[in-house]
């Protein structure tokens, strides 16, 4: 059975009444699926996954622009518990990663838990029932004891606020909503943005279009991409001697992890890497003027370091021009720059990234007393271990604040959080705890430490403006400040002492779930669960 073809057949029909579930997971990308698989492996099956679309895959379903591929090696950008011996390249392309996630969905029996076309409209914590009341855009309602967000940090497209944008008469779309029906061959195309997405699709479309105007605000640092096909011999070894793939994964992990020295420990180490990037640029761009245009003026690592072997050759083509003058406005058939030059355009593509600083839209997640998470995060997003937040009992985030990485695989971080949540759930079950809520002081001092480290790190001191930093406060609310293994270590133990724990007050004749909760005494809560 294919997870993409059969969105509804595995799901029992929902009745009109609110669906009761112990655990609700939102999203079926790496985070949601990883959580679901590990829950099943732990024997926990009372959960449902709400997915807004009609198939699984998250970012690897939504982003399907030409050239879309992972910029982390696939042997390490995949679940540790589901190695894939069939990767065809070191850096797999989007269709292969999407197929991998669909395969995991089938292989681990997750499809029966999926409810497609369920876009979360609101999740409100009901203080009386101690449950999350979920409402979906399709009108469905769920009630869940535990809410786990796997909604991802890079799921909401960011459109630039350029005057006249709505007057454009040609085709226009964001890279995340690529319009494959839009004819680009022989057309005048404008691309706004030169980030990780644009440097992948520009080389794909440049040879097809009549002219490509690339509007660059900040040039990225770009390193050579050590990509190659995975040989049949390697695939054979991975299939028949699985430890060989484990060795490959570990070696890649260590190699990527070593890059944290430059990011977080000693930014001067970035100079060596910067020299490699400068040589890459010199080799691929013979024109000194274009080279100057493409050379960043900030320290490497301040923004995400990109990798590509075909971007510089693409922008060196005679039919491509790189414009660095700011955009004044968009007219019905042109982009007009601040120097008054009109750039006539048939099709406009926005490679302008994602709304990262505000992971949840206003009104969607509301905790105790109906407090909107957007208000809780008015001074920048924060959470304990990027996972839990005071005032939001039994709410767990995967890829929450300060869990992003610029140097290693996000799947490693996702798995760390998944295991942490699993331990929390097991301990709650063992101690008959109905609800937990991270202690405000624990969360506060954790974030103080994180922010202290981040304020000294290259992302804040490297002389650039990036989406890692909250535009309102300048705080880095997205990245984990250092080695990924340290996050794994921090999440390896779940300590109930970090949490306020609540248990039902026994009341004769009361239905389960309707008794009032009372806070469990501290000493009873001071236990911890270690990695199993």
- Least separation in angstroms between residue 223's CB and ligand N01 is 13
Residue 225 tokens read as 């991409």
Which stretches within 194-241 are classed as H helix?
198-205, 232-240
Whole-angstrom Cα distance, residue 270 to residue 268? 5
Whole-angstrom Cα distance, residue 36 to residue 57? 13
Query: According to the binding rule CB under 6 A, does residue 195 interact with ligand N01?
Result: yes
Query: According to the binding rule CB under 6 A, does residue 178 interact with ligand N01?
Result: no
Cβ atoms of residues 525 and 499 within 8 Å? yes
**Dihedrals φ, ψ of 98, to 5°?**
-65, -45
- Answer for which of 3, 39, 120, 196 binds ligand N01 (CB under 6 A) is 196
Residue with tokens 């990767």: 87
Query: According to the binding rule CB under 6 A, does residue 294 interact with ligand N01?
Result: no
Choose the binding region for ligand N01 from 116-124, 213-221, 253-261, 338-346 (rule: CB under 6 A). Answer: 213-221
- Least separation in angstroms between residue 484's CB and ligand N01 is 15
Residue 304 or 439: the one with the smaller Cβ distance to ligand N01 is 304
- Least separation in angstroms between residue 291's CB and ligand N01 is 18
- Answer for which of 238, 467, 480, 502 binds ligand N01 (CB under 6 A) is 467
Cβ atoms of residues 160 and 335 within 8 Å? no
Choose the binding region for ligand N01 from 25-33, 129-137, 188-196, 426-434 (rule: CB under 6 A). Answer: 188-196
- Answer for which of 33, 35, 148, 198 binds ligand N01 (CB under 6 A) is 198
DSSP state of 75: T
Choose the binding region for ligand N01 from 210-218, 246-254, 413-421, 488-496 (rule: CB under 6 A). Answer: 210-218
Residue 354 or 392: the one with the smaller Cβ distance to ligand N01 is 354
Residue 140 or 172: the one with the smaller Cβ distance to ligand N01 is 172
Query: According to the binding rule CB under 6 A, does residue 217 interact with ligand N01?
Result: yes
3-state secondary structure of 351: coil
Q: How many residues bind ligand N01 (CB under 6 A)?
A: 24
Bridge partners of 384, per DSSP, are 388
Choose the binding region for ligand N01 from 14-22, 189-197, 238-246, 423-431 (rule: CB under 6 A). Answer: 189-197
Residues 319-378 that bind ligand N01 (CB under 6 A): 327, 351-354
What DSSP line would sit under 401-456, residue for residue? TT-B-SSS-HHHHHHHHHHHHHHHHHHHHHTT-SEEEE-HHHHHHHHHHHHHHHHH
Query: According to the binding rule CB under 6 A, does residue 245 interact with ligand N01?
Result: no
Site string for ligand N01, 132-161 (x = CB under 6 A): ----------------------x-----x-
How deeply is 332 buried, as exposed, middle or buried, from its count of CB atoms within 10 A (0-12, 13-18, 19+)?
A: exposed
> What is the CB neighbour count within 10 angstroms for residue 511?
7
Bridge partners of 295, per DSSP, are none
- Least separation in angstroms between residue 120's CB and ligand N01 is 22
Collect all residues with Cβ–Cβ distance below 8 Å to 158 and sequence separation of at least 6.
Answer: 352, 353, 354, 355, 356
- Least separation in angstroms between residue 271's CB and ligand N01 is 21
- Answer for which of 67, 150, 193, 401 binds ligand N01 (CB under 6 A) is 193
- Least separation in angstroms between residue 108's CB and ligand N01 is 23
Residue 491 tokens read as 């999440």
Residue 72 or 144: the one with the smaller Cβ distance to ligand N01 is 72
| Residue nearest to ligand N01 as judged by C-beta position | 195
Residue 227 or 234: the one with the smaller Cβ distance to ligand N01 is 227
Query: According to the binding rule CB under 6 A, does residue 304 interact with ligand N01?
Result: yes
What DSSP line would sit under 285-335, residue for residue? ---HHHHHHH--SS-TTSSPPEE-SSHHHHHTSTTEEEE-SPEEEEETTEE
- Least separation in angstroms between residue 358's CB and ligand N01 is 14
Whole-angstrom Cα distance, residue 427 to residue 531? 12
Residues 45-84 that bind ligand N01 (CB under 6 A): 70-72
Choose the binding region for ligand N01 from 144-152, 186-194, 388-396, 502-510 (rule: CB under 6 A). Answer: 186-194
Residue 37 or 196: the one with the smaller Cβ distance to ligand N01 is 196
Query: According to the binding rule CB under 6 A, does residue 462 interact with ligand N01?
Result: no
Rg (CA), the chain: 24
Sign (positive or negative) of CA dihedral 54, 58, 63, 68: negative
Residue 9 or 297: the one with the smaller Cβ distance to ligand N01 is 297
Residue 193 or 390: the one with the smaller Cβ distance to ligand N01 is 193
Residue 327 or 373: the one with the smaller Cβ distance to ligand N01 is 327
**Dihedrals φ, ψ of 345, to 5°?**
-140, 135
- Answer for which of 218, 235, 455, 495 binds ligand N01 (CB under 6 A) is 218
Q: Determine the straight-line distance between the first and last CA of the chain, rounded to whole angstroms.
A: 32
C-alpha separations of 112 from 282, 437, 502 in Å: 53, 30, 31
- Least separation in angstroms between residue 388's CB and ligand N01 is 24
| Residue ranges that bind ligand N01, judged by CB under 6 A | 70-72, 154, 160, 162, 175, 192-198, 215, 217-218, 304, 327, 351-354, 467
């Amino acid at each position: 059975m294919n997870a993409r073809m059969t969105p509804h057949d595995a799901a029992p029909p929902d009745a009109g009444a609110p669906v009761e579930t112990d655990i609700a997971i939102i999203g079926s990308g790496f985070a949601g699926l990883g959580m679901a698989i590990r829950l099943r492996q732990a024997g926990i099956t009372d959960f449902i996954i709400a997915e807004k679309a009609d198939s699984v895959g998250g970012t690897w379903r939504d982003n399907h622009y030409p050239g879309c591929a992972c910029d982390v090696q696939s042997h390490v950008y995949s679940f540790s518990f589901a190695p894939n011996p069939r990767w065809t390249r070191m850096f797999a392309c989007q269709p292969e990663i999407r197929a991998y996630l669909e395969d995991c969905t089938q292989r681990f029996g997750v499809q029966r838990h999926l409810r497609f076309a369920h876009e979360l409209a609101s999740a409100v914590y009901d203080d009386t029932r101690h449950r999350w009341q979920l409402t979906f855009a399709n009108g469905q309602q769920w009630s869940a004891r535990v809410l786990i967000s796997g909604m991802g940090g890079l799921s909401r497209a960011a459109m630039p606020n350029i005057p006249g944008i709505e007057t454009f008469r040609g085709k226009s779309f964001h890279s995340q909503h690529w319009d494959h029906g839009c004819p680009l061959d022989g057309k005048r195309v404008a691309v706004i943005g030169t980030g990780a997405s644009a440097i992948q699709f520009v080389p794909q479309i440049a040879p097809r279009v009549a002219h490509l105007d690339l509007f660059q605000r900040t040039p990225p640092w770009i390193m050579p991409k050590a990509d190659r096909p995975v040989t049949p011999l390697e695939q054979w070894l991975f299939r028949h001697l699985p430890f060989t793939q484990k060795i490959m994964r570990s070696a890649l992990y260590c190699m990527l992890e070593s890059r944290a020295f430059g990011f977080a420990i000693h930014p001067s180490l970035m100079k060596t890497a910067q020299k490699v990037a400068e040589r890459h640029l010199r080799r691929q761009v013979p024109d000194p003027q274009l080279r100057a245009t493409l050379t960043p003026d900030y320290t490497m690592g301040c923004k995400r370091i990109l990798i590509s072997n075909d971007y510089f050759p693409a922008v060196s083509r005679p039919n491509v021009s790189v414009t660095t003058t700011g955009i004044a406005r968009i007219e019905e058939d042109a982009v007009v720059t601040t120097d008054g030059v009109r750039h006539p355009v048939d099709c406009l593509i926005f490679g302008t990234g994602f709304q990262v600083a505000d992971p949840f839209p206003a009104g969607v997640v509301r905790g105790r007393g109906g407090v909107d998470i957007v208000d809780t995060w008015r001074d920048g997003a924060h959470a304990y271990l990027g996972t839990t937040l005071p005032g939001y009992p039994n709410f767990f985030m995967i890829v929450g604040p300060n869990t992003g990485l610029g140097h290693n695989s996000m799947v490693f971080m996702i798995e760390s959080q998944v295991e942490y949540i699993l331990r929390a759930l097991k301990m709650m079950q063992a101690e008959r705890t109905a609800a937990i809520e991270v202690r405000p002081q624990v969360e506060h001092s954790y974030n103080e430490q994180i922010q202290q480290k981040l304020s000294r790190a290259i992302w804040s001191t490297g002389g650039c403006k990036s989406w890692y930093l909250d535009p309102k406060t300048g705080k880095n609310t997205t990245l984990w400040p250092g080695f990924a293994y340290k996050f794994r270590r921090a999440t390896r133990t779940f300590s109930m002492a970090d949490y306020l724990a609540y248990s039902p007050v026994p009341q004769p004749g009361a239905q389960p779930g309707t008794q009032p909760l009372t806070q469990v005494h501290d000493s009873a809560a001071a236990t911890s669960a270690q990695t199993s």
